[in-house]
Chains A and B, each alone.
Chain A
Amino acid sequence: MSGKPLVPAIEGWHTMEAKPHLIGTQCEVCGTFFFPKQNHFCKNPNCESTDFREVELSRTGQIWSYTNACYKPPPPFVAKEPFEPYAIAAVQLEDEKMVVLGQLVEGLSVADLKVGMPMELVLEELHETDEDIKVTWKWQPLAS
Protein backbone atom coordinates (compact mmCIF):
# COMPACT_ATOMS: atom_id res chain seq x y z
CA MET A 1 0.00 0.00 0.00
CA SER A 2 1.12 3.49 -0.82
CA GLY A 3 0.08 5.06 2.48
CA LYS A 4 -1.34 8.02 0.61
CA PRO A 5 -4.37 9.74 2.14
CA LEU A 6 -7.85 8.81 0.92
CA VAL A 7 -9.76 11.83 -0.35
CA PRO A 8 -13.12 12.09 -2.12
CA ALA A 9 -12.86 12.26 -5.91
CA ILE A 10 -15.69 14.79 -5.83
CA GLU A 11 -15.65 16.90 -2.69
CA GLY A 12 -18.78 16.89 -0.55
CA TRP A 13 -20.85 14.33 -2.46
CA HIS A 14 -20.58 11.53 0.12
CA THR A 15 -19.47 10.89 3.69
CA MET A 16 -16.15 9.14 4.29
CA GLU A 17 -16.98 6.60 7.03
CA ALA A 18 -16.92 2.81 6.64
CA LYS A 19 -20.64 2.73 5.89
CA PRO A 20 -20.88 5.86 3.77
CA HIS A 21 -23.89 7.85 2.61
CA LEU A 22 -24.38 10.06 -0.42
CA ILE A 23 -24.95 13.65 0.63
CA GLY A 24 -27.97 15.26 -0.99
CA THR A 25 -30.30 18.06 -0.09
CA GLN A 26 -33.95 18.17 0.90
CA CYS A 27 -36.35 21.02 0.16
CA GLU A 28 -37.44 22.70 3.39
CA VAL A 29 -40.94 23.26 2.00
CA CYS A 30 -42.03 20.23 -0.06
CA GLY A 31 -39.52 17.69 1.26
CA THR A 32 -38.21 16.61 -2.14
CA PHE A 33 -34.75 15.03 -2.10
CA PHE A 34 -32.02 15.97 -4.55
CA PHE A 35 -28.78 14.32 -5.59
CA PRO A 36 -26.53 15.93 -6.68
CA LYS A 37 -27.34 18.67 -4.16
CA GLN A 38 -29.82 21.34 -5.16
CA ASN A 39 -29.37 24.55 -3.14
CA HIS A 40 -30.95 27.39 -5.09
CA PHE A 41 -34.36 26.48 -6.52
CA CYS A 42 -36.71 23.54 -6.03
CA LYS A 43 -37.29 21.45 -9.15
CA ASN A 44 -40.76 20.36 -8.05
CA PRO A 45 -43.01 22.50 -10.31
CA ASN A 46 -45.51 22.91 -7.44
CA CYS A 47 -42.89 24.41 -5.13
CA GLU A 48 -41.15 27.80 -5.22
CA SER A 49 -38.82 27.13 -2.31
CA THR A 50 -35.25 28.38 -2.24
CA ASP A 51 -34.44 26.79 1.14
CA PHE A 52 -32.70 23.42 1.42
CA ARG A 53 -31.01 21.36 4.12
CA GLU A 54 -28.18 18.89 3.58
CA VAL A 55 -29.18 15.28 4.24
CA GLU A 56 -27.53 11.88 4.14
CA LEU A 57 -29.43 9.67 1.70
CA SER A 58 -30.23 6.00 2.28
CA ARG A 59 -27.16 3.89 1.62
CA THR A 60 -29.12 0.86 0.47
CA GLY A 61 -31.50 0.19 -2.39
CA GLN A 62 -32.39 -2.18 -5.19
CA ILE A 63 -30.90 -2.57 -8.65
CA TRP A 64 -33.01 -0.84 -11.33
CA SER A 65 -30.62 -2.01 -14.05
CA TYR A 66 -26.94 -2.75 -14.68
CA THR A 67 -24.29 -2.93 -17.37
CA ASN A 68 -20.52 -2.60 -17.77
CA ALA A 69 -17.91 -0.56 -19.59
CA CYS A 70 -15.83 -2.70 -21.95
CA TYR A 71 -14.00 0.24 -23.52
CA LYS A 72 -11.82 2.81 -21.78
CA PRO A 73 -13.77 6.07 -21.36
CA PRO A 74 -12.09 9.34 -22.44
CA PRO A 75 -10.82 11.92 -19.88
CA PRO A 76 -11.67 13.18 -17.33
CA PHE A 77 -11.90 9.43 -16.53
CA VAL A 78 -8.51 8.20 -15.32
CA ALA A 79 -8.01 4.63 -16.51
CA LYS A 80 -5.75 1.98 -15.07
CA GLU A 81 -3.22 0.49 -17.49
CA PRO A 82 -4.08 -1.98 -18.80
CA PHE A 83 -7.75 -1.02 -18.77
CA GLU A 84 -9.99 -3.41 -16.87
CA PRO A 85 -13.74 -3.46 -17.69
CA TYR A 86 -15.93 -2.57 -14.71
CA ALA A 87 -19.61 -3.11 -13.96
CA ILE A 88 -22.08 -0.25 -13.46
CA ALA A 89 -25.41 -0.30 -11.64
CA ALA A 90 -28.41 2.01 -11.44
CA VAL A 91 -29.77 1.58 -7.92
CA GLN A 92 -33.08 2.90 -6.60
CA LEU A 93 -32.48 4.29 -3.10
CA GLU A 94 -34.59 2.73 -0.37
CA ASP A 95 -36.33 5.83 1.00
CA GLU A 96 -35.90 8.52 -1.64
CA LYS A 97 -36.88 6.25 -4.58
CA MET A 98 -34.43 8.03 -6.84
CA VAL A 99 -32.13 6.00 -9.08
CA VAL A 100 -28.39 6.70 -8.69
CA LEU A 101 -25.68 5.45 -11.04
CA GLY A 102 -22.33 4.17 -9.90
CA GLN A 103 -19.64 1.63 -10.58
CA LEU A 104 -19.72 -1.74 -8.88
CA VAL A 105 -16.86 -2.62 -6.57
CA GLU A 106 -13.92 -4.30 -8.28
CA GLY A 107 -14.23 -8.02 -8.98
CA LEU A 108 -17.98 -8.06 -9.69
CA SER A 109 -19.36 -8.62 -13.18
CA VAL A 110 -22.80 -8.33 -14.75
CA ALA A 111 -23.19 -12.10 -14.30
CA ASP A 112 -23.35 -11.48 -10.52
CA LEU A 113 -26.27 -9.03 -10.81
CA LYS A 114 -30.04 -9.04 -11.28
CA VAL A 115 -32.75 -6.36 -11.40
CA GLY A 116 -34.20 -5.99 -7.90
CA MET A 117 -31.07 -7.19 -6.07
CA PRO A 118 -30.49 -5.40 -2.73
CA MET A 119 -27.35 -3.26 -2.82
CA GLU A 120 -25.37 -1.04 -0.49
CA LEU A 121 -23.10 1.94 -0.95
CA VAL A 122 -19.37 1.63 -0.22
CA LEU A 123 -16.25 3.65 -1.01
CA GLU A 124 -13.49 2.46 -3.32
CA GLU A 125 -10.59 3.93 -5.23
CA LEU A 126 -11.48 5.72 -8.46
CA HIS A 127 -7.86 6.61 -9.30
CA GLU A 128 -4.55 7.55 -7.67
CA THR A 129 -2.63 10.81 -8.01
CA ASP A 130 0.91 11.75 -6.88
CA GLU A 131 -0.49 13.09 -3.59
CA ASP A 132 -3.51 10.96 -2.71
CA ILE A 133 -6.01 8.25 -3.59
CA LYS A 134 -9.30 9.55 -4.95
CA VAL A 135 -12.23 7.48 -3.71
CA THR A 136 -15.83 7.52 -4.82
CA TRP A 137 -19.10 5.74 -4.10
CA LYS A 138 -19.60 2.31 -5.58
CA TRP A 139 -22.30 -0.32 -5.25
CA GLN A 140 -21.97 -3.83 -3.87
CA PRO A 141 -24.54 -6.53 -3.06
CA LEU A 142 -25.95 -6.01 0.43
CA ALA A 143 -24.23 -8.28 2.96
CA SER A 144 -26.98 -10.59 4.24
Chain B
Amino acid sequence: MSNEIAILGAGMHPWGKWGHNFVEYGVAAAREAMADAGIPWKDVTFVSGGATIRCGYPGFVAGSTFAQALGWQGAEVNTSYAACASGSQALAAARNKILSGECEVALVVGADTTPKGFLAPAGGYRPEDPDWVRFYLGITNPTYFALYARRRMDVYGDTLDDFAAVKVKNSLVGSKNPRARYRKCFTAEDVAASAMVADPLRLMDICATSDGGAALIVSSLEYARKMGKGDAPRVAAISTVTPTFASSVVEMPDIATDSAAAAGVDAHAYRSTIPLKAYEEAGIGPQDIDLAEVYDLSTALELDWIEDLQLAPRGEAAALLRAGDTALGGKIPVNVSGGLACFGEAVPAQALSQVCELTWQLREQAGDRQVQGAKVGITANQGLFGHGSSVIIKR
Protein backbone atom coordinates (compact mmCIF):
# COMPACT_ATOMS: atom_id res chain seq x y z
CA MET B 1 0.00 0.00 0.00
CA SER B 2 1.56 3.22 -1.17
CA ASN B 3 1.05 6.50 0.63
CA GLU B 4 2.50 8.37 -2.31
CA ILE B 5 0.90 11.10 -4.38
CA ALA B 6 2.17 12.66 -7.61
CA ILE B 7 3.34 16.24 -8.08
CA LEU B 8 1.99 17.26 -11.49
CA GLY B 9 2.79 20.95 -11.35
CA ALA B 10 4.81 23.55 -9.45
CA GLY B 11 4.66 27.32 -9.58
CA MET B 12 6.00 30.35 -7.74
CA HIS B 13 5.62 34.10 -7.79
CA PRO B 14 9.14 35.54 -7.50
CA TRP B 15 10.10 36.52 -3.93
CA GLY B 16 10.65 40.22 -3.26
CA LYS B 17 9.22 43.27 -1.57
CA TRP B 18 6.59 44.04 -4.15
CA GLY B 19 4.01 45.63 -1.86
CA HIS B 20 1.01 43.87 -3.43
CA ASN B 21 -1.82 41.96 -1.80
CA PHE B 22 -0.86 38.37 -0.95
CA VAL B 23 -3.72 37.05 -3.10
CA GLU B 24 -1.94 38.25 -6.24
CA TYR B 25 1.15 36.18 -5.41
CA GLY B 26 -0.90 33.08 -4.62
CA VAL B 27 -2.97 33.32 -7.78
CA ALA B 28 0.14 33.82 -9.94
CA ALA B 29 1.80 30.77 -8.33
CA ALA B 30 -1.38 28.67 -8.67
CA ARG B 31 -1.82 29.57 -12.35
CA GLU B 32 1.80 28.69 -13.07
CA ALA B 33 1.42 25.34 -11.27
CA MET B 34 -1.79 24.53 -13.20
CA ALA B 35 -0.20 25.46 -16.52
CA ASP B 36 2.85 23.38 -15.61
CA ALA B 37 0.59 20.41 -14.81
CA GLY B 38 -1.66 20.90 -17.83
CA ILE B 39 -4.64 20.87 -15.47
CA PRO B 40 -7.53 23.31 -16.00
CA TRP B 41 -8.75 25.10 -12.86
CA LYS B 42 -12.17 23.46 -13.12
CA ASP B 43 -10.61 20.00 -12.70
CA VAL B 44 -9.26 20.92 -9.24
CA THR B 45 -11.67 19.63 -6.57
CA PHE B 46 -9.70 20.55 -3.43
CA VAL B 47 -7.82 23.76 -2.59
CA SER B 48 -5.49 23.56 0.40
CA GLY B 49 -4.12 26.93 1.49
CA GLY B 50 -1.37 27.93 3.91
CA ALA B 51 -2.72 30.72 6.13
CA THR B 52 -1.07 34.08 6.58
CA ILE B 53 -1.69 35.73 9.95
CA ARG B 54 -0.56 39.15 8.72
CA CYS B 55 -3.16 39.76 6.04
CA GLY B 56 -6.46 39.92 7.93
CA TYR B 57 -9.50 37.68 7.54
CA PRO B 58 -8.69 36.67 3.93
CA GLY B 59 -5.34 35.40 5.20
CA PHE B 60 -6.98 33.25 7.91
CA VAL B 61 -9.15 31.55 5.27
CA ALA B 62 -6.47 31.41 2.56
CA GLY B 63 -7.81 28.24 0.90
CA SER B 64 -11.15 29.89 0.30
CA THR B 65 -9.58 33.24 -0.59
CA PHE B 66 -7.55 31.65 -3.41
CA ALA B 67 -10.52 29.56 -4.59
CA GLN B 68 -12.63 32.70 -4.82
CA ALA B 69 -9.87 34.65 -6.56
CA LEU B 70 -9.47 31.92 -9.18
CA GLY B 71 -13.27 31.92 -9.64
CA TRP B 72 -15.68 29.89 -7.48
CA GLN B 73 -16.16 26.50 -9.11
CA GLY B 74 -17.38 24.47 -6.14
CA ALA B 75 -14.07 22.91 -5.00
CA GLU B 76 -13.77 22.01 -1.33
CA VAL B 77 -11.28 24.09 0.62
CA ASN B 78 -8.97 23.81 3.62
CA THR B 79 -6.70 26.29 5.39
CA SER B 80 -3.70 25.26 7.47
CA TYR B 81 -1.72 27.34 9.90
CA ALA B 82 1.48 25.79 11.26
CA ALA B 83 3.92 28.74 11.24
CA CYS B 84 6.87 27.90 8.95
CA ALA B 85 5.43 24.42 8.36
CA SER B 86 2.08 25.74 7.08
CA GLY B 87 2.78 24.72 3.49
CA SER B 88 3.65 21.16 4.50
CA GLN B 89 0.54 20.87 6.63
CA ALA B 90 -1.54 22.12 3.69
CA LEU B 91 0.19 19.53 1.49
CA ALA B 92 -0.57 16.83 4.07
CA ALA B 93 -4.26 17.80 4.04
CA ALA B 94 -4.31 17.43 0.25
CA ARG B 95 -2.55 14.08 0.49
CA ASN B 96 -5.12 12.80 2.99
CA LYS B 97 -7.97 13.87 0.74
CA ILE B 98 -6.37 12.15 -2.27
CA LEU B 99 -5.41 8.93 -0.45
CA SER B 100 -8.90 8.63 1.02
CA GLY B 101 -10.24 8.64 -2.52
CA GLU B 102 -12.27 11.82 -2.05
CA CYS B 103 -10.28 13.87 -4.53
CA GLU B 104 -8.11 13.21 -7.59
CA VAL B 105 -6.48 16.59 -8.14
CA ALA B 106 -5.71 19.23 -5.51
CA LEU B 107 -4.14 22.68 -5.52
CA VAL B 108 -1.86 23.50 -2.58
CA VAL B 109 -0.95 27.17 -2.29
CA GLY B 110 0.57 29.66 0.14
CA ALA B 111 1.46 33.34 -0.17
CA ASP B 112 2.40 36.22 2.12
CA THR B 113 3.12 39.92 2.37
CA THR B 114 5.40 40.85 5.25
CA PRO B 115 5.91 44.14 7.07
CA LYS B 116 9.23 45.96 7.56
CA GLY B 117 11.39 45.77 10.68
CA PHE B 118 10.98 43.92 13.99
CA LEU B 119 7.75 42.00 14.54
CA ALA B 120 6.80 43.40 17.96
CA PRO B 121 4.18 42.07 20.40
CA ALA B 122 1.13 43.96 21.67
CA GLY B 123 1.85 46.48 24.47
CA GLY B 124 0.64 46.79 28.07
CA TYR B 125 1.76 44.60 31.00
CA ARG B 126 1.15 41.01 29.89
CA PRO B 127 3.55 38.59 31.65
CA GLU B 128 1.31 35.63 30.67
CA ASP B 129 2.43 36.14 27.03
CA PRO B 130 5.94 34.68 26.47
CA ASP B 131 6.38 36.93 23.45
CA TRP B 132 5.75 40.03 25.58
CA VAL B 133 8.10 38.77 28.31
CA ARG B 134 11.06 38.19 26.02
CA PHE B 135 10.78 41.54 24.25
CA TYR B 136 10.44 43.32 27.61
CA LEU B 137 13.65 41.62 28.79
CA GLY B 138 15.43 42.53 25.54
CA ILE B 139 15.43 39.15 23.79
CA THR B 140 14.49 39.47 20.10
CA ASN B 141 14.36 36.88 17.30
CA PRO B 142 18.07 37.01 16.32
CA THR B 143 19.01 36.15 19.93
CA TYR B 144 17.85 32.55 19.55
CA PHE B 145 19.72 31.92 16.28
CA ALA B 146 22.82 33.58 17.65
CA LEU B 147 22.71 31.29 20.70
CA TYR B 148 22.60 28.23 18.44
CA ALA B 149 25.43 29.63 16.28
CA ARG B 150 27.67 30.47 19.24
CA ARG B 151 27.14 27.03 20.71
CA ARG B 152 28.40 25.51 17.44
CA MET B 153 31.54 27.64 17.71
CA ASP B 154 32.30 26.77 21.32
CA VAL B 155 31.32 23.09 21.17
CA TYR B 156 32.27 22.02 17.61
CA GLY B 157 34.87 24.63 16.65
CA ASP B 158 32.86 26.22 13.83
CA THR B 159 34.20 29.63 12.81
CA LEU B 160 32.87 32.91 11.49
CA ASP B 161 34.49 31.93 8.19
CA ASP B 162 32.31 28.81 8.09
CA PHE B 163 29.14 30.83 8.58
CA ALA B 164 30.22 33.31 5.89
CA ALA B 165 30.98 30.38 3.56
CA VAL B 166 27.34 29.26 3.82
CA LYS B 167 26.21 32.71 2.66
CA VAL B 168 28.76 32.76 -0.16
CA LYS B 169 27.70 29.27 -1.30
CA ASN B 170 23.98 30.05 -1.22
CA SER B 171 24.30 33.45 -2.89
CA LEU B 172 26.38 31.95 -5.72
CA VAL B 173 23.76 29.36 -6.59
CA GLY B 174 20.86 31.69 -5.78
CA SER B 175 22.20 34.19 -8.30
CA LYS B 176 21.16 31.64 -10.93
CA ASN B 177 17.58 31.42 -9.65
CA PRO B 178 15.18 33.82 -11.41
CA ARG B 179 12.64 33.43 -8.58
CA ALA B 180 15.05 34.52 -5.82
CA ARG B 181 14.86 38.00 -4.31
CA TYR B 182 18.60 38.53 -3.74
CA ARG B 183 20.67 37.56 -6.75
CA LYS B 184 24.01 39.18 -5.95
CA CYS B 185 27.06 36.95 -5.41
CA PHE B 186 28.32 37.97 -1.98
CA THR B 187 31.88 37.40 -0.79
CA ALA B 188 33.19 36.52 2.65
CA GLU B 189 34.42 40.13 2.84
CA ASP B 190 30.87 41.39 2.23
CA VAL B 191 29.61 39.25 5.12
CA ALA B 192 32.41 40.40 7.43
CA ALA B 193 31.70 44.04 6.57
CA SER B 194 27.99 43.80 7.40
CA ALA B 195 26.79 45.04 10.79
CA MET B 196 26.89 42.73 13.82
CA VAL B 197 23.29 42.03 14.92
CA ALA B 198 23.63 39.35 17.59
CA ASP B 199 27.17 38.11 18.06
CA PRO B 200 28.33 35.96 16.18
CA LEU B 201 25.66 36.66 13.55
CA ARG B 202 25.97 39.64 11.23
CA LEU B 203 23.24 41.15 9.11
CA MET B 204 24.21 38.98 6.14
CA ASP B 205 24.08 35.80 8.24
CA ILE B 206 20.38 36.37 8.93
CA CYS B 207 17.55 35.94 6.45
CA ALA B 208 15.11 38.73 5.61
CA THR B 209 11.32 38.55 5.36
CA SER B 210 9.82 38.70 1.88
CA ASP B 211 6.64 38.70 -0.16
CA GLY B 212 6.15 35.56 -2.21
CA GLY B 213 3.85 32.76 -3.28
CA ALA B 214 4.26 29.06 -4.11
CA ALA B 215 1.86 26.39 -5.34
CA LEU B 216 1.70 22.70 -6.25
CA ILE B 217 -0.78 20.61 -8.21
CA VAL B 218 -0.89 17.13 -6.70
CA SER B 219 -2.89 14.06 -7.67
CA SER B 220 -3.36 10.36 -7.09
CA LEU B 221 -0.78 8.12 -8.81
CA GLU B 222 -3.58 6.60 -10.86
CA TYR B 223 -4.66 10.00 -12.15
CA ALA B 224 -1.04 10.86 -12.99
CA ARG B 225 -0.69 7.62 -14.98
CA LYS B 226 -3.96 8.34 -16.84
CA MET B 227 -2.48 11.72 -17.83
CA GLY B 228 0.66 10.05 -19.09
CA LYS B 229 2.64 11.42 -16.12
CA GLY B 230 3.25 8.19 -14.24
CA ASP B 231 6.91 9.16 -13.87
CA ALA B 232 6.18 12.52 -12.17
CA PRO B 233 8.00 13.25 -8.89
CA ARG B 234 6.13 11.83 -5.89
CA VAL B 235 5.61 12.95 -2.32
CA ALA B 236 7.07 9.95 -0.47
CA ALA B 237 6.74 11.28 3.07
CA ILE B 238 5.48 14.24 5.09
CA SER B 239 6.47 14.66 8.73
CA THR B 240 4.75 17.33 10.82
CA VAL B 241 5.54 15.93 14.28
CA THR B 242 5.46 18.13 17.38
CA PRO B 243 8.22 18.08 20.04
CA THR B 244 8.55 15.43 22.72
CA PHE B 245 8.76 16.42 26.40
CA ALA B 246 11.28 17.40 27.69
CA SER B 247 12.53 19.86 25.09
CA SER B 248 16.22 20.61 25.66
CA VAL B 249 16.73 23.60 23.32
CA VAL B 250 15.36 27.02 24.17
CA GLU B 251 12.98 27.97 21.37
CA MET B 252 11.48 31.27 20.35
CA PRO B 253 9.39 32.77 22.00
CA ASP B 254 10.14 30.95 25.27
CA ILE B 255 12.37 32.31 28.02
CA ALA B 256 13.26 28.83 29.33
CA THR B 257 13.27 25.16 28.31
CA ASP B 258 11.43 22.27 29.89
CA SER B 259 13.10 20.61 32.87
CA ALA B 260 13.90 16.94 32.45
CA ALA B 261 15.42 16.68 35.92
CA ALA B 262 12.51 15.17 37.84
CA ALA B 263 10.32 13.29 35.39
CA GLY B 264 12.77 10.51 34.63
CA VAL B 265 12.76 11.33 30.92
CA ASP B 266 15.46 12.32 28.48
CA ALA B 267 15.63 15.81 27.04
CA HIS B 268 15.15 16.02 23.27
CA ALA B 269 16.26 18.53 20.64
CA TYR B 270 13.06 18.98 18.62
CA ARG B 271 14.69 19.89 15.31
CA SER B 272 16.49 16.57 15.02
CA THR B 273 13.27 14.59 15.60
CA ILE B 274 11.38 16.17 12.65
CA PRO B 275 13.06 14.17 9.83
CA LEU B 276 12.89 10.83 11.66
CA LYS B 277 9.25 10.23 10.79
CA ALA B 278 9.87 11.30 7.18
CA TYR B 279 12.68 8.78 6.75
CA GLU B 280 10.59 6.05 8.36
CA GLU B 281 7.52 6.82 6.26
CA ALA B 282 9.52 6.87 3.01
CA GLY B 283 11.37 3.72 3.97
CA ILE B 284 14.72 5.31 3.17
CA GLY B 285 17.65 6.75 5.09
CA PRO B 286 19.95 9.74 4.92
CA GLN B 287 22.33 7.79 2.64
CA ASP B 288 19.62 7.80 -0.07
CA ILE B 289 19.28 11.60 -0.20
CA ASP B 290 20.64 13.41 -3.27
CA LEU B 291 19.86 16.98 -2.19
CA ALA B 292 18.24 18.93 0.64
CA GLU B 293 16.38 22.22 1.01
CA VAL B 294 16.66 23.38 4.62
CA TYR B 295 15.44 26.41 6.54
CA ASP B 296 18.53 28.63 6.77
CA LEU B 297 17.04 31.37 8.94
CA SER B 298 20.71 31.95 9.73
CA THR B 299 23.84 30.71 7.98
CA ALA B 300 24.81 28.68 11.06
CA LEU B 301 21.35 27.08 11.21
CA GLU B 302 21.97 25.46 7.81
CA LEU B 303 24.82 23.55 9.47
CA ASP B 304 22.54 22.45 12.33
CA TRP B 305 19.97 21.17 9.82
CA ILE B 306 22.56 19.14 7.91
CA GLU B 307 23.26 17.27 11.15
CA ASP B 308 19.57 17.07 12.12
CA LEU B 309 18.91 15.40 8.75
CA GLN B 310 21.82 13.03 9.55
CA LEU B 311 23.62 14.05 6.37
CA ALA B 312 26.68 14.54 8.61
CA PRO B 313 27.50 13.29 12.13
CA ARG B 314 26.77 15.82 14.90
CA GLY B 315 29.35 18.59 14.86
CA GLU B 316 30.73 17.73 11.41
CA ALA B 317 28.56 19.80 9.05
CA ALA B 318 31.22 22.49 8.78
CA ALA B 319 33.73 19.90 7.58
CA LEU B 320 31.27 18.92 4.85
CA LEU B 321 30.89 22.58 3.92
CA ARG B 322 34.65 23.20 3.85
CA ALA B 323 35.11 20.20 1.53
CA GLY B 324 32.56 21.68 -0.88
CA ASP B 325 30.25 18.71 -0.39
CA THR B 326 27.16 20.84 0.25
CA ALA B 327 27.70 23.08 -2.80
CA LEU B 328 26.24 22.48 -6.26
CA GLY B 329 28.37 19.70 -7.73
CA GLY B 330 29.25 18.36 -4.27
CA LYS B 331 28.27 15.03 -2.70
CA ILE B 332 25.13 16.32 -1.00
CA PRO B 333 24.10 19.75 -2.27
CA VAL B 334 22.12 21.81 0.26
CA ASN B 335 19.89 24.76 -0.66
CA VAL B 336 20.60 24.84 -4.40
CA SER B 337 17.56 27.15 -4.68
CA GLY B 338 19.71 29.71 -2.86
CA GLY B 339 17.77 29.05 0.35
CA LEU B 340 16.28 31.66 2.63
CA ALA B 341 19.55 33.57 2.26
CA CYS B 342 18.48 34.47 -1.29
CA PHE B 343 14.71 34.34 -0.88
CA GLY B 344 13.93 35.81 2.53
CA GLU B 345 11.13 34.17 4.44
CA ALA B 346 7.52 34.28 3.22
CA VAL B 347 6.07 32.05 5.94
CA PRO B 348 3.05 30.24 4.39
CA ALA B 349 4.79 29.87 1.02
CA GLN B 350 8.25 28.82 2.17
CA ALA B 351 7.75 25.11 2.86
CA LEU B 352 5.99 24.81 -0.53
CA SER B 353 8.80 26.67 -2.29
CA GLN B 354 11.19 24.02 -0.95
CA VAL B 355 9.04 21.31 -2.56
CA CYS B 356 8.83 23.32 -5.81
CA GLU B 357 12.62 23.40 -6.01
CA LEU B 358 12.89 19.65 -5.41
CA THR B 359 10.22 19.04 -8.07
CA TRP B 360 12.15 20.98 -10.69
CA GLN B 361 15.42 19.34 -9.64
CA LEU B 362 13.98 15.82 -9.89
CA ARG B 363 12.56 16.66 -13.32
CA GLU B 364 15.97 17.97 -14.37
CA GLN B 365 14.48 21.39 -15.12
CA ALA B 366 16.64 23.43 -12.75
CA GLY B 367 18.92 24.84 -15.44
CA ASP B 368 22.19 26.24 -14.10
CA ARG B 369 21.25 24.99 -10.63
CA GLN B 370 20.68 21.39 -11.69
CA VAL B 371 21.95 18.65 -9.36
CA GLN B 372 22.96 15.90 -11.79
CA GLY B 373 21.04 12.66 -11.42
CA ALA B 374 18.89 13.85 -8.50
CA LYS B 375 16.32 11.18 -7.61
CA VAL B 376 15.51 11.82 -3.93
CA GLY B 377 15.28 15.14 -2.10
CA ILE B 378 14.31 16.18 1.42
CA THR B 379 13.05 19.45 2.91
CA ALA B 380 13.22 20.62 6.51
CA ASN B 381 11.86 23.61 8.37
CA GLN B 382 10.87 24.65 11.87
CA GLY B 383 8.65 27.43 13.14
CA LEU B 384 7.10 28.71 16.35
CA PHE B 385 5.05 26.76 18.89
CA GLY B 386 6.16 23.23 18.03
CA HIS B 387 5.57 23.43 14.30
CA GLY B 388 8.05 21.90 11.92
CA SER B 389 8.06 19.69 8.87
CA SER B 390 10.14 17.52 6.61
CA VAL B 391 8.98 16.32 3.19
CA ILE B 392 10.66 13.69 1.02
CA ILE B 393 10.20 13.83 -2.76
CA LYS B 394 11.42 11.05 -5.03
CA ARG B 395 11.24 10.06 -8.63
Contacts and interface: CB of A to CB of B under 8 A. Distances in A.
A30 B258 CA distance: 14
B369 interface: no
B92 to A, nearest CB: 23
Interface in B245-272: 245-246, 248-250, 255-263, 265, 267
Nearest to A79: B138
B154 A32 contact: no
A74 B142 CA distance: 13
Contact of A103 (B123, B138, B146, B267): B138
What class of interface size applies to chain A in its complex with B? 35 or more
Contact of B155 (A93, A100, A115, A126): A115
B199 A70 contact: yes
Interface stretch (B126-134, B230-238, B307-315): B126-134
Given A67-B146, A67-B150, A115-B151, A90 B138 contact: no
B120 A75 contact: yes
B196 interface: yes
B187 interface: no
A101 B135 CA distance: 12
Interface in B117-175: 117-118, 120-121, 123-124, 127, 130, 132-140, 142-143, 146-151, 154-155
Contacts of A10: 127, 133, 136
Contacts of B197: 70-71
Contact of B261 (A33, A45, A88, A114): A33
Contacts of A11: 127
Nearest to B121: A76
B195 interface: yes
B374 interface: no
Nearest to A98: B259
A36 B137 CA distance: 14
B148 A65 contact: yes
A46 interface: yes
Given A26-B262, A90-B250, A68 B198 contact: yes
A96 B263 CA distance: 11
A116 B250 CA distance: 16
Contacts of B143: 67, 69, 88, 101
B11 to A, nearest CB: 36
A67 B199 contact: yes
B255 A31 contact: no
Given A33-B261, A69-B198, A70-B197, A75 B140 contact: no
Contacts of B120: 74-75
B256 A35 contact: yes
Contacts of B263: 30-32, 44, 46-47
Contact of A75 (B134, B135, B200, B265): B135
A110 B146 CA distance: 12
B258 A101 contact: no
A33 B245 CA distance: 13
A8 B253 CA distance: 21
Given A13-B127, A90-B250, A74 B245 contact: no
A86 B266 CA distance: 33
Nearest to B151: A65
A129 to B, nearest CB: 12
B203 to A, nearest CB: 10
Given A65-B151, A66-B147, A67-B146, A76 B132 contact: yes
Contacts of A52: none
A95 interface: yes
B256 A101 contact: yes
Interface string B324-357: 0000000000000000000000000000000000
B256 A69 contact: no
Contacts of A26: 262
Closest 7 CB pairs of A and B: A31-B262, A67-B146, A115-B154, A74-B120, A98-B259, A65-B151, A65-B147
Given A26-B262, A66-B147, 8 more contacts: A10-B136, A36-B133, A36-B255, A64-B151, A67-B142, A70-B196, A76-B124, A115-B155
30 contacts: A9-B136, A26-B262, A32-B259, A33-B259, A34-B259, A35-B256, A43-B258, A46-B265, A64-B147, A65-B147, A65-B150, A66-B147, A67-B142, A67-B143, A67-B146, A67-B147, A67-B150, A67-B200, A75-B120, A76-B121, A76-B135, A77-B136, A77-B138, A88-B139, A95-B261, A96-B261, A96-B262, A97-B260, A101-B256, A126-B136
Interface of B: 117-118, 120-121, 123-124, 127, 130, 132-140, 142-143, 146-151, 154-155, 195-201, 245-246, 248-250, 255-263, 265, 267
